[in-house]
């Protein structure tokens, strides 16, 4: 018991090769926030949701119990800090109904990608130090949430596990629509949408013509920091007038979530990292999508459309125009739809897929209860899947009867 209490009081540890791993609460005034921003700009894999400006904006709505695991060349409060890793985490002991400690990467309704930020130049060393420190400071059982199962981070994790002969178990494996233009010549970018059939293109033209029957419709992109707040308010109002407003799940109905979006748009927008694309007719918004930018990657986080013109597919028209805009923008190489799997709208246009899973990882030193934890997580996943299917079926029945 004394050992347990002692570990809970510890907030930092030094790795065998001299790196400092520290746990710190989400604090906008902490001296290590700017080093965290700099790390985001040189990370092995971009992650909007673990960028400090987004994470701090999300703290009010979803940050209870969250700490940031930091790996640096010195203590986080010391001047001259260089961070090699940053990973917002939450510790739980009752995920499976029994007192088994689990360290989970932070996820929430607005945070659907969980690769830790690792310095690209020292990614292997950073990952090793991160897991070393988390094991000693929080717990040996680690869950990476919404972790990519293909690409640079997946390869790094697989190599690390293989070298140390450690186990992993994957859950909730799924894919979502992703736009990947890396390595494509300008002619290839221009031809990206050629996969759309002639029939589908004809339907787009017909919908566009019907949408413009009451007046010209324009596509616009708002990037000016001084205009983003009004454009966001407009987006939230459109969403609140639709089915989410009727169900009470619109962002505007939850003050903490609205504050999250306003905070993230304000802070990241001031850095030129937000765009709000929309279709408008006579100052009226027909569809709107809020996207964030990390280096050369776009994250299309929220979309809304005016349901009074739903029969003319304004959301589809907007996403078509957005895709054309991203293709034409030479600074963009990737875009994540942030959508659920099998979500037809982005999958219509974007042919690539981002493969994700929650990954239970055994850390160095071993875990005699790893197999039990994996079985419990599988059982939990099966139960949640069944409950979601049941709720969906009930909702469909209720809608059919109404």
Segment 294-321 shows an average pLDDT of 96
Under CATH, which number does the domain 183-332 receive? 3.40.630
What percentage of the chain's residues is helix, strand, coil (to nearest 5)?
45, 25, 30
Instruction: Please choose, from the candidates 290, 281, 346, the residue with its C-alpha nearest in 3D space to the C-alpha of residue 320.
Output: 346
Rounded to 10°, the helix 198-211/314-328 angle is: 110
The H or E element spanning position 395 is: helix 370-401
Segment 295-307 shows an average pLDDT of 96
Contacts (Cβ under 8 Å, ≥6 apart) of 51:
37, 40, 117, 268, 294
Distance CA 305, CA 241 (A): 9
- Judged against a pLDDT cut of 60, whether residue 6 lies above it is answered with no
pLDDT bucket at 150, cuts 50 / 70 / 90? very high
β-bridge partners, 356: 148, 174
**End-to-end C-alpha distance for the chain, whole angstroms:** 58
Distance CA 372, CA 353 (A): 32
Under CATH, which number does the domain 2-179+355-401 receive? 3.40.630
Q: Output the pLDDT for position 398.
A: 67
User: Residues 287-290: contacts with CB within 8 Å, 24+ apart?
Assistant: 287/238, 287/314, 287/315, 287/317, 287/318, 288/231, 288/234, 288/235, 288/238, 288/318, 289/318, 289/319, 289/322, 290/232, 290/235, 290/261, 290/265
Q: Output the pLDDT for position 148.
A: 98
Predicted TM-score (pTM) of this structure: 0.93
Q: Output the pLDDT for position 3.
A: 37
The full DSSP string for 147-207 is EESSSHHHHHHHHHHHHHT--EEEEEEEEEEEEE-TT--HHHHHTGGGGS-HHHHHHHHHH
Range scoring the smallest mean pLDDT among 39-48, 131-140, 243-252, 387-396: 387-396
| CA atoms within 13 A of residue 245's CA, in its CB half-sphere | 13
CB atoms within 10 A of CB 375: 12
Segment 331-355 shows an average pLDDT of 96
**How far is residue 193 from each of residues 74, 166, 278, measured CA to CA in Å?**
49, 43, 20
Quote the distance between the C-alpha of residue 209 and its chain's center: 35
Q: Output the pLDDT for position 333.
A: 97
Question: Which residue's structure tokens are 């596509």?
Answer: 219
What residue spans define the domains of the chain? Answer: 2-179+355-401, 183-332
Quick: pLDDT tens for 206-230.
999 999 999 999 999 999 999 999 9
Sign of CA dihedral 116, 122, 128, 133: negative
Distance CA 35, CA 52 (A): 10
Distance CA 279, CA 212 (A): 11
Distance CA 337, CA 184 (A): 20
Helical H segments across 184-279, by residue range = 186-190, 198-211, 225-240, 243-247, 255-269
Q: Output the pLDDT for position 402.
A: 56
**How far is residue 366 from each of residues 10, 37, 162, 262, 362, measured CA to CA in Å?**
21, 33, 13, 43, 6
Quick: pLDDT tens for 64-112.
999 999 999 999 999 999 999 999 999 998 888 888 999 999 999 999 9
């Amino acid at each position: 018991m004394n050992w347990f209490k002692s570990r809970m009081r510890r907030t930092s540890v030094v790795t065998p090769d001299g790196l400092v791993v520290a746990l710190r609460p989400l604090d906008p005034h902490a001296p290590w926030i700017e080093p965290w921003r700099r790390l985001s700009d040189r990370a092995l894999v971009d992650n909007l949701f673990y960028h400090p400006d987004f994470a701090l904006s999300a703290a009010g709505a979803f940050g209870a119990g969250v700490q940031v695991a930091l790996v640096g060349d010195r203590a986080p409060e010391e001047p001259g800090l260089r961070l090699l890793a940053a990973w917002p985490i939450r510790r739980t002991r009752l995920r499976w109904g029994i007192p088994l400690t689990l360290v989970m990467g932070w996820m929430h309704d607005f945070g659907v990608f969980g690769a830790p930020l690792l310095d690209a130049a020292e990614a292997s060393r950073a990952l090793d130090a991160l897991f070393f420190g988390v094991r000693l400071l929080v717990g040996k059982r680690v869950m990476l949430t919404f972790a990519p199962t293909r690409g640079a981070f997946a390869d790094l994790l697989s190599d690390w596990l293989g070298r140390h002969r450690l186990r992993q178990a994957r859950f909730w494996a799924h894919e979502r629509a992703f736009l990947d233009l890396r390595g494509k010549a300008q002619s290839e970018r221009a031809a990206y949408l050629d996969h759309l059939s002639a029939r589908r293109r004809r339907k787009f033209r017909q919908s566009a013509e019907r949408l413009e029957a009451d007046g010209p419709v324009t596509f616009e992109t708002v990037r000016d920091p001084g205009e983003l707040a009004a454009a966001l308010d407009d987006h939230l109002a459109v969403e609140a007038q639709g089915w989410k407003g009727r169900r009470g799940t619109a962002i505007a109905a939850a003050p903490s979530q609205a504050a999250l979006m306003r905070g993230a748009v304000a802070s990241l927008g001031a850095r030129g990292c937000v765009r709000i694309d929309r279709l408008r007719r006579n100052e009226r918004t027909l569809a709107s999508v809020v996207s964030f930018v990390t280096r050369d990657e776009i994250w299309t986080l929220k979309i809304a459309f005016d349901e009074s013109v739903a029969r003319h597919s304004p959301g589809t028209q907007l996403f078509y125009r957005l895709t054309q805009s991203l293709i034409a923008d030479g600074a963009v190489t990737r875009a994540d739809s942030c959508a659920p799997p099998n979500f037809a709208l982005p999958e219509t246009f974007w042919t690539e897929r981002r493969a994700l899973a929650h990954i239970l990882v055994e850390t160095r030193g071993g875990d005699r209860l790893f197999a039990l934890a994996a079985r419990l997580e599988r059982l939990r996943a099966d139960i949640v899947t069944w409950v979601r299917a049941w709720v969906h079926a009930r909702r469909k029945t209720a809608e059919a009867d109404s």
